Structure formats: structure tokens, C-alpha cells
Amino acid sequence: MSSERLEVRGRHVDGAPVVAVRVWLRGGSRIESTPGQALVTGRLLTEGTAQRSWREIATAAEGRGMALAAFGDLELSGVAIDALAADWELAIDWSAEMVLTPAFPEERCAWAIRHAQGELASLADHPEASTSWAFMDQLYSPHPAGRPPQGDPASLASLDRLACRRFHERALAGGVIVTVAGPIDPAAAESRVRERFSELTGELGEHPSPPPPDAPEPRRDWPVPGEQAHLFLGRPTVARADPALPALRLLSVVLGAGGGLSGRIPYRVREREGLAYATHVDAAAGAGLDPGRFVAYVGTSVGSVTRAIECVREELATLIAEGVSEAEVEEARAYLLGREPFRRETARQWADLMAASVHYDLPLDSPEWVVERLRAVDRAQVEAAAREHLDPDGLFITVGAPAT
């Protein structure tokens, strides 16, 4: 990882007259001391600065058709600006203003906390999302990946503007990544960023590692509203930089992450058995600094839960016992290679990719590197990844279903 306090990337992207500016601070809920702190702090970046109130910022942005978003998630906090290309300098200047001189006004902090509490109440009304977080808690708790970025109502209530300011200072100390993409001169954009963010100098701060997950319980039953059951099966797999990740990406496609109704699990659950409308699979969901997870989701009727679990387990058992065919591996590889150009179409995608490249210290924004990495995987590696990570007897299960 770079030792620079400020990392800057600019890229000329032809196409629509849109410029995207991303400012990522290496500090999300992984380093928060109170659940919800990263999210509330991140959101407060657009809620007032030393120069302007939230209303002045929002009025000016909307008056230029600019989309401002401030965020705090598991690994990062920061701001994202999408603007018409003519406003690229303004977008850089405003991003610096929000990140370097946030005011954390007390009344906006109180509102951000109350708003996040409202979001948690809303989340509980959505059975799939609610079950998904129960599953994440089962897999990862007490690691912060196991909880919604909002934390919980009580932890939110204990936050105040000083806690947010302290968190922001820690996040800034961890390093800042700024990317700019669009129909711009990259050198001019990078120069402007360096000038506006010039106060970011000095040593990088060290963040402690978050607590590791406890051993998960094998099965969790989670009461949800509605009539349908929501089934999550999975287990932790690998982090983003792990050499096994490309093989797991191919496995994801073989199992059902390839879109449409293709892939072993959707084909079995939806097409052959007619058990579900919604089903999705990913063998490395959320892989980041910490391990992601294999997850298979099935939305089905309460009476079909047992059958759906059997189907997923049987498909994984068959995969491990019989392996995958060369044709399947080649098909999955062709799919992932074919999708690559579509991940690099827009200024917004490039700005995100460049920032992710710096954050993970991987050349994710290099098509050649991504293609080479996928081409290097062979069938034996895919099968080895399946044996290591997809044991059907080692799955953890959360079933969200109406309380009886």
C-alpha cells in the first residue's frame, strides 16, 4: 500500500459531458468505535462546512444539476460528485471544501442520527434486506461487516458532533484518495486536486484491525413480515487481493452469477423446480480488505424452504464431487471477459475503478491486468476453489420467514 497521505488519479473519458469526482477516506465502520459512526460522519460532510451551510451547498449544487453524495460504509467514507463536465473545477473545489473543512453542525448531526434510526426501522419492514443483515450478523459478528452501516438505534443515540469530528480526523489520517474522470485534461485535474488538498501532508496514521468474526451458529431463523421465506446460505471466502479470487469469480458464474436464468443454482431452483422467482449466487460477495463470502439467496414459499436448501446443497455437492467441465469454465471466462468493457463505459465507473485500484493496491483499472488474471485460471484451480470454499456441509444458513 502507498505511504502517501494523498493519492490522486485523473483520466480522460470520452462520451457524455459528465465529470465524476471521488474522494475516498480510508476509514469506514472497520475503524469506528461506535456502530454507525462512519455512516453519520460521512453523511455530515455535505451538511455544512466552515464556508457554507447545508442549504447553501445543496442549493448551489442543484442549481448546476450536480449530484452530491456523502457516505460512510464498511471501509471508507467520503464524497462522490457527478457534474456536468463544464463544472469540473467546481466539483474538485467543492469536494475539497467538504472533506477538509466540514463543520459538523450540532443540529445536522442530530438529524443525521435520527434519519439513520428511521432507515433502520424501514429496513426491518423489508424482509429480504432484514434477513440479509441477519445472515451477515451470523457470518461476521462482531466484525463490523456483520452489521448495517447505521449500527443500531442505541449506538446511534450515543453519537454526537465531537465523536463525528474525531472519527473524521482519524479517517483523514488514514489517507485520502481523489479521482477525477471525464472529458478533462487529467494533468490539469490532478494539479488542481493537489493544490486544493495541499494541506494533506505528513505521516499516514495506522488503523487497528477490526475484531475477527466469532464461529457462526449453523442455522438462524429470523422472523420477517409478509408471507414469503428468504433463504441465505453461505460462508466466508477470501479477501479482494487473494490469489483465489479469480477462480471464485469463475465459480460464481458457473453457479449462477452470469445473468439471466443460467448457472447451476438458478437453473435448478427456478427453472427445474419452479421454487423461486428471485435467486442469486456469488462466491466472493463483498470481498474487500477482509474476506467476502459465498452466498446463495432464494426467495421462496415457506413450504419450499427445506427443498430449496436441499437443492443448493445438492448442487454444491455435485460440483465438488464431479467437478466442472472445460466448457463451463470457458463459458464463465468468456462471460466475465465480455462484461469487462461494460464496467468501463462511463466517467463515473472510471472514477470508482481508479479509486478502488488505489484503495486495494491492485491494478483494477487496468483492463489488461484483469483479463490476464482471468485467463490464467484453469479448471483445476476452479475445482480446488470449490473444494476449499464451497463445502455444502459447512454452509451457514439464515431463514427469514413469517413467525408462526
Partner 1 sequence: MFKGSGRYAAGEIDRRTRELGGSNNAFTSHDSTAYYFSFSSEHWLEALDIEAERMDDLTLDPEEVDRERQVIEEELAMYESDPWDALDKAVHRVFFDDHPYGRPIVGKRKTLGAIDAEELRSFHREHYRPDNAVLVVAGAMGAEALARIEARFGDKEPGAPARRALPEPVRPTCADRVERRQGDVARLLLAIPSPGADDPDYAPLRLLLTALGGPRTSRLAAKLVEDDQLCVGVSCEITESTEPSMAVVAAELLPGVEPAVVEERVQAELARLLSEPPSTDELDRARRILVADWVFGVERIHQQALAAGLAVCLFDRDYPERHLARALDATPDDLARVAERWIRPRQSSVTGWSLPE
Binding site for partner 1 (CB under 8 A): 15-18, 54-55, 58-59, 62-67, 82-84, 111, 114-115, 117-119, 121-122, 124-128, 224-228, 253, 258-262, 267, 270-272, 274-278, 299-301, 330-332, 334-339, 341-342, 345-348
Q: Give the total residue count for the chain.
A: 404
CB 33 to partner 1: min, Å: 26
CB 3 to partner 1: min, Å: 35
Nearer to partner 1, 336 or 364 (CB): 336
Cα distances (Å, whole numbers) of residue 332 to 205, 259, 271, 285, 294 = 41, 11, 19, 17, 17
Nearer to partner 1, 199 or 330 (CB): 330
CB 329 to partner 1: min, Å: 12
Which residue has cell 434477513? 131
CB 209 to partner 1: min, Å: 33
The Cα–Cα gap between 168 and 237 comes to 31
The cell for 157 is: 443515540
Nearer to partner 1, 243 or 274 (CB): 274
The Cα–Cα gap between 276 and 301 comes to 8
CB 250 to partner 1: min, Å: 12
Nearer to partner 1, 124 or 188 (CB): 124
Cα distances (Å, whole numbers) of residue 346 to 18, 84, 133, 350 = 8, 13, 31, 6
The cell for 40 is: 453519520
Helix H or strand E encompassing 131: helix 127-140
CB 91 to partner 1: min, Å: 12
The Cα–Cα gap between 84 and 68 comes to 12
DSSP track, 236-281: E---TT-TTHHHHHHHHIIIIISSTT-SHHHIIIIIIT--EEEEEE
Nearer to partner 1, 63 or 212 (CB): 63
Nearer to partner 1, 187 or 302 (CB): 302
